[in-house]
Chains A and B, each alone.
Chain A
């Protein structure tokens, strides 16, 4: 009997620790709802095949999660929908022409290697969907960098593939058929779910309204990218124009709203979240300006994921009602006691 009560106290749930009726499943359901507008824009722009890709990605993610837990005789966890979210997010970061097996391989890496081997939901140190994307990007670089023409541009562009606006911005110039407004609406090539800043912001607003995520990480992330690109413009573009292009293109919105805000891999301290967002933004801009890849969001978030424990440590709050000198005094006393214990 006493054994059982002790267990309950020790088994503190991982974040979020909210005292409401909200549970993981409800949170995940909200994330899925918030992603639907972006998915719809992707399917409308790139055709029905992308819907098949998204569904393959979700089903395979759920299958890997179920299979792993089953194989190692662990409690089933597909009911919390987190695998669905991982699958959907990974599917949304696929290029529209990806073969069907690509998300299957990606979700295997995301779910089995990154998430389950470290203990399952809440214990992974990298965002599974992003890690899966990075794995695919390093393994199948050619497939992952082939962009098909969205329906909105099918009259303007010859051929079936084209370069993304980012490649233009950091290469030989942005073609005239891209405007800040058309990019905001999602009339550009890219991953299935990243193209429409408008749909993603809609989803983000829903998540903030539902209190699933706080405004801190997305706002500091996108804000720092905006500020840096505004200050360090490029000749040939107006500073404001350059800033808008940078904010609306690539996977910045998708990353900032849905990936960087993952509970398990971002800081819990409030100031820590701001620093995390700014760090993501700075790294994104650095990689875009100086890196070998046109887009830096994936690696920026993954790198900051690895730092989030250190950020939390740095912003660790003191006990309420205790001054800093009290803590120092306490520490000194403890050390003295330890030293004394050595001689006994």
Chain B
């Protein structure tokens, strides 16, 4: 399988959130600071990759009739492991993401990939599929976080970056972020669920616009090539 194509699919043409439009609930709920976005994105990436590998490895012994039950057990297992590890080692992230970490169990991206991809593909392909789809998800989260945080509170990198005593990364979520303009000028509605809906809607719209345009260009190029070929034949 072509890795480059797989990469492009995960990030752009078959992006889980913007094109497949799955896993949107958590996307809208937690994208308020960069810390949350990166944390959630990486959690999903890890869980997705692990589940993909396990499901692909077991694909021959999983009976068709009970495959969904088995997927759910595998996913719930990995989610619980990640949840416990986060609670123990990054409690700030666990507190910020709250119920959305356990809810990864019902995140459609993971069960969707298991059902649509890993069932029919090798362990290696599924591994890369997990990485690329997870990256696509993480990228969308990061874009949304950066946008919402900037418009909502005039800040960049809240929780993850601290500039109070020189530039450094904070992994415990205590960083204040880089204040770009004073917080009172920020449209604080962007930090509320409404901001999540608005940002996601704008992003999906933009993505569809770009995809349609590139498709149109591709078709036009194809037609031009065909016409040129016809002309050559005629001559």
Q: Which residues on A are within 8 Å of B, measured CB to CB?
A: 101, 105, 113, 117, 135, 138-142
Contacts and interface: CB of A to CB of B under 8 A. Distances in A.
B188 interface: yes
B171 interface: no
Contacts of B185: 101
Interface string B190-211: 1010100010000001000000
B187 interface: yes
A138 B194 contact: yes
Interface string B156-190: 00000000000000000000000000001111111
Contacts of B184: 140, 142
20 contacts: A101-B185, A105-B187, A113-B198, A117-B205, A135-B187, A135-B189, A138-B188, A138-B189, A138-B192, A138-B194, A139-B186, A139-B187, A139-B188, A139-B189, A139-B190, A140-B184, A140-B187, A140-B188, A141-B188, A142-B184
A117 B205 CA distance: 10
Contacts of B192: 138
Interface string B32-65: 0000000000000000000000000000000000
Contacts of A140: 184, 187-188
A135 B198 CA distance: 12
Contacts of A135: 187, 189
A83 to B, nearest CB: 21
Interface of B: 184-190, 192, 194, 198, 205
Contacts of B187: 105, 135, 139-140
A251 B147 CA distance: 33
Contacts of B190: 139
Contacts of B188: 138-141
A323 to B, nearest CB: 45
Nearest to A135: B189
Given A135-B189, A140-B184, 9 more contacts: A113-B198, A117-B205, A135-B187, A138-B192, A139-B188, A139-B189, A139-B190, A140-B187, A140-B188
A320 to B, nearest CB: 41
A20 to B, nearest CB: 38
Contacts of B186: 139
A245 B198 CA distance: 38
A144 to B, nearest CB: 11
Nearest to B205: A117
A114 B187 CA distance: 16
A113 B187 CA distance: 14
A113 B186 CA distance: 17
3 tightest Cβ-Cβ pairs between the two chains A and B: A139-B187, A138-B189, A139-B189
A117 B202 CA distance: 9
Contacts of B205: 117
A138 B186 CA distance: 11
Nearest to B188: A139
A139 B186 CA distance: 7
Contacts of B189: 135, 138-139
Contacts of A105: 187
A119 to B, nearest CB: 13
Contacts of B198: 113
A135 B197 CA distance: 14
Contacts of A113: 198
Contacts of A142: 184
Nearest to A113: B198
Nearest to B152: A139
A38 to B, nearest CB: 27
Nearest to A139: B187
A111 to B, nearest CB: 15
Nearest to A142: B184
A216 B188 CA distance: 37
A327 B184 CA distance: 59
Nearest to B187: A139
B179 to A, nearest CB: 17
Nearest to A117: B205
Nearest to B186: A139
* From A135, A139, A140, A142, residue with most partner B Cβ within 10 Å: A139
A139 B184 CA distance: 9
A108 to B, nearest CB: 10
Contacts of B194: 138
A230 to B, nearest CB: 36
A235 to B, nearest CB: 37
Nearest to B190: A139
A127 B110 CA distance: 40
